Amino acid sequence: MAEKGKKVMVTVRKPPHGSIYVQESIEVMFIFATYEMDLSVVFLDDGVLALHAGQDTKGLGIKGFMASLGALVDWEVTNVYVDRQSLKDRGIAEDAIIAIGKDDDSGAPIRPKVLDTAQIAAMMTGQHSIVSF
Amino acid sequence: MLHTVNKSPFQNGALENCLRLARDGDAILLLEDGVYAAAAGTVKSSLIEQAVKRHAVYAIEADLKARGLGNLIKDVRVASYGDFVDLVEKHTVHAWL
């Protein structure tokens, strides 16, 4: 499967800290990026909760993965999308989600791009494979 | 596109999440506990009753039989594991875990 340039998608639909799914999804994103695959990442349903600002897992005694999410762009995971309806359903403002990196020149934060469900559905159709979490 | 759903519609929203995103003409395959959605006369039956108007909806025969489900929503197609393989071969797959 790890063929250079192949279109692959990772979808994240689980909430962040009750299970290992989101942590594992980030590992897979980094692996796909390392193999220079044409990767897109989509957060939808409860997966958008992983993008909630201000998460602090110290009290759970775990390191968490906010640092990894904040460095996706540095790892060349740049095509990162989030479902508008899922954010809305959970009361998360589109401009309040965490940054996944910052612009090299301006230093401005780069956030996942908010898309409508229909746009995400269309993007799914063109993939060689989709790995879901 | 082929969407697979393996969770009971009484347990969580995976099927509803799937149906919200699936485009007209996409195929939907119910397997494992997902096949409970194919049963007629339940509080969740309307999901698949509506879905069959827009999608080919399949349910895995072995999972139906294992759960004693025979009274299915009209137009749900009973699929063997071989049919499952054919569908996977033909489509990009998204698993709604």
The answer to whether position A59 is within a domain reads yes
* Inter-chain Cβ pairs, chain A and chain B, closer than 8 A: 40
- Interchain contact, B95 vs A122, CB within 8 Å: no
Q: Which residue of B has its CA nearest to A125?
A: B1
Report d(CA A3, CA A13) in Å as an integer. Answer: 25
Write the pLDDT tens digit of every residue in A113-122. Answer: 999 999 999 9
The answer to whether position A1 is within a domain reads no
Contacts of B22 in chain A (CB under 8 A): 121
- Interchain contact, B22 vs A11, CB within 8 Å: no
Question: In chain B, where are the structural domains located?
Answer: 2-96
Write the pLDDT tens digit of every residue in A54-113. Answer: 999 999 998 889 999 999 999 999 999 999 999 999 999 999 999 999 999 999 999 999
CA A20 to chain B, closest CA, distance in angstroms equals: 14
Architecture field, domain B2-96: 3-Layer(aba) Sandwich (3.40)
The pTM of the full predicted model, rounded to 2 decimals, is 0.91
Write the pLDDT tens digit of every residue in B54-90. Answer: 999 999 999 999 999 999 999 999 999 999 999 999 9
CA B2 to chain A, closest CA, distance in angstroms equals: 9
CATH number at residue A57: 3.40.1260.10
Residue A2 has pLDDT above 60, yes or no: no
Domain range for A92 is: 7-128
- Interchain contact, B13 vs A127, CB within 8 Å: no
Residue A51 has pLDDT above 90, yes or no: yes
The contact set of B with A (CB < 8 A) is 1, 13, 17, 20-23, 92-97
- A11: nearest CB among B13, B20, B94: B94
The answer to whether position A2 is within a domain reads no
Q: What sign has the CA pseudo-torsion A77, A78, A79, A85? A: positive
Q: What is the mean pLDDT of chain B?
A: 97
% residues pLDDT > 70 (chain A) = 98
User: Coil, strand or helix: which one is B20?
Assistant: helix
The answer to whether position A133 is within a domain reads no
Report d(CA B33, CA B19) in Å as an integer. Answer: 17
Report d(CA B77, CA B69) in Å as an integer. Answer: 13
Write the pLDDT tens digit of every residue in B1-31. Answer: 999 999 999 999 999 999 999 999 999 999 9
Report d(CA A58, CA A56) in Å as an integer. Answer: 6
pLDDT at position A4 is: 74
The H or E element containing residue A25 is helix A21-34
Number of folded domains in chain A?
A: 1
pLDDT at position A63 is: 87
Interface TM-score (ipTM) > 0.90: no
Q: What is the mean pLDDT of chain A?
A: 94
